[in-house]
Amino acid sequence: MALDEVAARGLVLLGCGKMGSALLRGWLSGGLPPSAVHVVEPRPSDWLRGTGVALNAPLPKAPAVALVAVKPQMMGEALPAMAALGGGRTLVLSIAAGTPLAAFEAAFGAGTPVVRAMPNTPAAIGRGITAIIGNAAATGAHLALAESLLSAVGEVVRLEAEGQMDAVTAVSGSGPAYVFHLIETLAAAGEAEGLAPELALRLARATVAGAGALAQETGTDPAQLRRDVTSPNGTTQAGLEVLMGGLPDLIARTVRAAAARSEELGRA
């Protein structure tokens, strides 16, 4: 199933908050006709109203894709309205955190192809990364279609088992918040050393962004990048001796806590 079939048969987007809007922007800029997109959103933004998509209108009977982008706590009331799309002709693609494949199979029927995805917030600027996993009814063509749609906002990786999704949620799904907090704390430390608040924040933000870009674009092992910038008995080594004494355990506990919460949400 190619993207031209999505244009011909239509795509339903259930929920158009920050992530749904990022995806929609990517699709429209990539050439998907606005008329092919049917958005169900009770509180549409002014931007969404101006896109030309079909907004809160009757849904097509068998769209190529139905993408679920509502919050997990809204799933119970949102899915029944789309249950008629189950049965096999429509790919159900979910970016809802903590909602397992089985929940969608229960709502749409076991024969419905379902792909579960976990994107992250850098998708808003096209620099996200999304992990996907399909159910037994999802074919290679379905996964390829999901990958094509989600690549509009960044990289896409495929998982081997749904059980890996909790770890993905904890690392890349929640990870941006950890990095934002690093920027906060690095700036606060710079301010404590005598820098003006605005300058400390500018230095911290650019340093984290630049280091991340360097690791991403070179593909070099981050441990090697760390060694490259660490002179023996220099300032970086002095700082790292403090940081490495506690950061590995702290990050491990952080990721474990987030993964545990993801597991709880999946059982709810």
Any idea which architecture 3-167 has in CATH? 3-Layer(aba) Sandwich (3.40)
The number of C-alpha atoms within 13 Å of 268 and in the hemisphere containing its C-beta is: 14
- How far is Cα 12 from Cα 63, in angstroms, rounded to an integer? 7
Q: Give the confidence band of 234 by pLDDT, cuts at 50, 70, 90.
A: very high
Please determine, looking at this structure, whether the domain spanning 173-267 carries the CATH number 1.10.3730.10. yes
Q: 3-167 and 173-267: same fold?
A: no
Residues 6+ apart with CB under 8 A from 212: 179
pLDDT of residue 181: 98
pLDDT digits (tens, 9 = 90+) for 235-262: 999 999 999 999 999 999 999 999 999 8
Please state, as a whole number, how many other Cβ atoms lie within 10 Å of the Cβ of residue 184.
13
pLDDT digits (tens, 9 = 90+) for 23-59: 999 999 999 999 999 999 989 999 999 999 999 999 8
240 bridge partner residues: none
- Alpha helices, DSSP H, located in the chain: 3-9, 18-29, 46-49, 75-78, 101-108, 140-150, 165-168, 175-192, 197-218, 222-228, 235-243, 247-267
66 bridge partner residues: 12, 92
| Dihedral Cα 8, 13, 17, 22, nearest 10 deg | -30
92 within 8 A of 112, measured Cβ to Cβ: yes
Tell me the pTM: 0.91
Q: Give the confidence band of 93 by pLDDT, cuts at 50, 70, 90.
A: very high
- Please give the mean pLDDT across all residues of the chain: 93
pLDDT digits (tens, 9 = 90+) for 132-182: 999 999 999 999 999 999 999 999 999 999 999 999 999 999 999 999 999
Domain ranges of the chain: 3-167, 173-267
Enumerate long-range contacts of 247-251, CB under 8 Å, 24 or more apart: 251/178
pLDDT digits (tens, 9 = 90+) for 191-227: 999 999 999 999 999 999 999 999 999 999 999 999 9
64 within 8 A of 88, measured Cβ to Cβ: no
